[in-house]
Amino acid sequence: MEEEKAQALVDDATFDFTMGEHDAALEKLEKAVKLDPACFSAWHAMAEIYFDRDNLEKALEAGTIAVGLKEDDVHIHTTLSRIWMESGNKEEAEKHGARARVLGWKEQLKEDE
Protein backbone atom coordinates (compact mmCIF):
# COMPACT_ATOMS: atom_id res chain seq x y z
CA MET A 1 0.00 0.00 0.00
CA GLU A 2 2.73 2.49 0.97
CA GLU A 3 4.69 1.46 -2.13
CA GLU A 4 1.72 2.32 -4.35
CA LYS A 5 1.26 5.71 -2.67
CA ALA A 6 4.97 6.43 -3.05
CA GLN A 7 4.91 5.49 -6.75
CA ALA A 8 1.88 7.73 -7.32
CA LEU A 9 3.85 10.61 -5.77
CA VAL A 10 6.79 9.82 -8.08
CA ASP A 11 4.46 9.91 -11.07
CA ASP A 12 3.04 13.27 -9.97
CA ALA A 13 6.54 14.60 -9.30
CA THR A 14 7.67 13.55 -12.77
CA PHE A 15 4.83 15.56 -14.25
CA ASP A 16 5.69 18.55 -12.04
CA PHE A 17 9.32 18.39 -13.14
CA THR A 18 8.27 18.22 -16.79
CA MET A 19 6.18 21.35 -16.24
CA GLY A 20 9.15 23.16 -14.65
CA GLU A 21 7.83 22.88 -11.10
CA HIS A 22 11.04 21.58 -9.55
CA ASP A 23 10.25 22.53 -5.94
CA ALA A 24 6.86 20.81 -6.09
CA ALA A 25 8.49 17.73 -7.62
CA LEU A 26 11.14 17.53 -4.90
CA GLU A 27 8.52 17.98 -2.19
CA LYS A 28 6.54 15.02 -3.55
CA LEU A 29 9.66 12.90 -3.89
CA GLU A 30 10.62 13.61 -0.28
CA LYS A 31 7.15 12.44 0.78
CA ALA A 32 7.56 9.34 -1.38
CA VAL A 33 10.80 8.27 0.30
CA LYS A 34 9.29 8.89 3.72
CA LEU A 35 6.44 6.53 2.81
CA ASP A 36 8.77 4.00 1.18
CA PRO A 37 12.50 4.50 1.85
CA ALA A 38 13.23 1.73 -0.69
CA CYS A 39 11.47 3.56 -3.55
CA PHE A 40 14.19 3.42 -6.18
CA SER A 41 12.33 5.58 -8.69
CA ALA A 42 11.95 8.40 -6.15
CA TRP A 43 15.64 8.43 -5.29
CA HIS A 44 16.60 8.29 -8.96
CA ALA A 45 14.23 11.12 -9.82
CA MET A 46 15.66 13.21 -6.96
CA ALA A 47 19.18 12.61 -8.27
CA GLU A 48 18.13 13.84 -11.72
CA ILE A 49 16.32 16.93 -10.42
CA TYR A 50 19.13 17.92 -8.07
CA PHE A 51 21.60 17.43 -10.92
CA ASP A 52 19.44 19.62 -13.15
CA ARG A 53 19.49 22.29 -10.43
CA ASP A 54 23.30 22.02 -10.09
CA ASN A 55 23.06 20.71 -6.54
CA LEU A 56 25.69 18.03 -7.06
CA GLU A 57 26.00 17.11 -3.40
CA LYS A 58 22.29 16.29 -3.08
CA ALA A 59 22.31 14.61 -6.50
CA LEU A 60 25.15 12.30 -5.44
CA GLU A 61 23.44 11.57 -2.14
CA ALA A 62 20.18 10.55 -3.83
CA GLY A 63 21.96 8.69 -6.63
CA THR A 64 24.07 6.72 -4.17
CA ILE A 65 20.97 5.62 -2.29
CA ALA A 66 19.27 4.68 -5.58
CA VAL A 67 22.19 2.56 -6.82
CA GLY A 68 22.28 0.83 -3.45
CA LEU A 69 18.65 -0.16 -3.97
CA LYS A 70 19.03 -1.31 -7.57
CA GLU A 71 22.65 -1.98 -8.44
CA ASP A 72 21.93 -3.44 -11.88
CA ASP A 73 20.00 -0.49 -13.29
CA VAL A 74 21.66 1.00 -16.36
CA HIS A 75 19.93 4.36 -15.92
CA ILE A 76 21.16 5.09 -12.39
CA HIS A 77 24.73 4.31 -13.43
CA THR A 78 24.35 6.70 -16.36
CA THR A 79 22.99 9.37 -14.00
CA LEU A 80 25.84 8.85 -11.54
CA SER A 81 28.39 8.99 -14.35
CA ARG A 82 27.05 12.39 -15.42
CA ILE A 83 26.98 13.70 -11.84
CA TRP A 84 30.53 12.53 -11.09
CA MET A 85 31.82 14.01 -14.34
CA GLU A 86 30.24 17.36 -13.51
CA SER A 87 31.75 17.09 -10.02
CA GLY A 88 35.18 16.70 -11.57
CA ASN A 89 35.75 13.09 -10.54
CA LYS A 90 36.56 11.46 -13.85
CA GLU A 91 37.54 8.13 -12.27
CA GLU A 92 34.12 7.66 -10.62
CA ALA A 93 32.38 8.92 -13.75
CA GLU A 94 34.20 6.36 -15.89
CA LYS A 95 33.45 3.58 -13.40
CA HIS A 96 29.71 4.24 -13.57
CA GLY A 97 29.81 4.82 -17.32
CA ALA A 98 31.49 1.45 -17.84
CA ARG A 99 28.95 -0.25 -15.58
CA ALA A 100 26.11 1.34 -17.57
CA ARG A 101 27.62 0.08 -20.85
CA VAL A 102 28.00 -3.47 -19.55
CA LEU A 103 24.43 -3.50 -18.25
CA GLY A 104 23.21 -2.10 -21.56
CA TRP A 105 25.00 -4.85 -23.45
CA LYS A 106 23.47 -7.47 -21.17
CA GLU A 107 20.00 -6.06 -21.88
CA GLN A 108 20.70 -6.05 -25.60
CA LEU A 109 21.85 -9.67 -25.51
CA LYS A 110 18.65 -10.68 -23.71
CA GLU A 111 16.58 -8.91 -26.38
CA ASP A 112 18.49 -10.62 -29.19
CA GLU A 113 17.75 -14.10 -27.79
pLDDT in tens, 33-74: 999 999 999 999 999 999 999 999 999 999 999 999 999 999
Q: How many domains does the chain have?
A: 1
Range of the domain at 104: 2-112
pTM of the model: 0.91
Return d(Cα 88, Cα 46) in angstroms, integer.
20
Per 3-state DSSP, the chain is made up of helix, strand and coil in percentages (nearest 5) of 85, 0, 15
Return d(Cα 17, Cα 3) in angstroms, integer.
21
CB atoms within 10 A of CB 78: 17
Q: How far is CA 49 from CA 7, 14, 18, 38, 109, in A?
A: 17, 10, 10, 18, 31
CATH number of the domain within which 67 lies? 1.25.40.10
Is 80 exceeded by the pLDDT of residue 112? no
Mean predicted confidence (pLDDT) in 22-40: 97
* CB-CB contact of 24 with 40 (8 Å): no
Return d(Cα 10, Cα 62) in angstroms, integer.
14
pLDDT of residue 111: 79
Is 80 exceeded by the pLDDT of residue 113? no
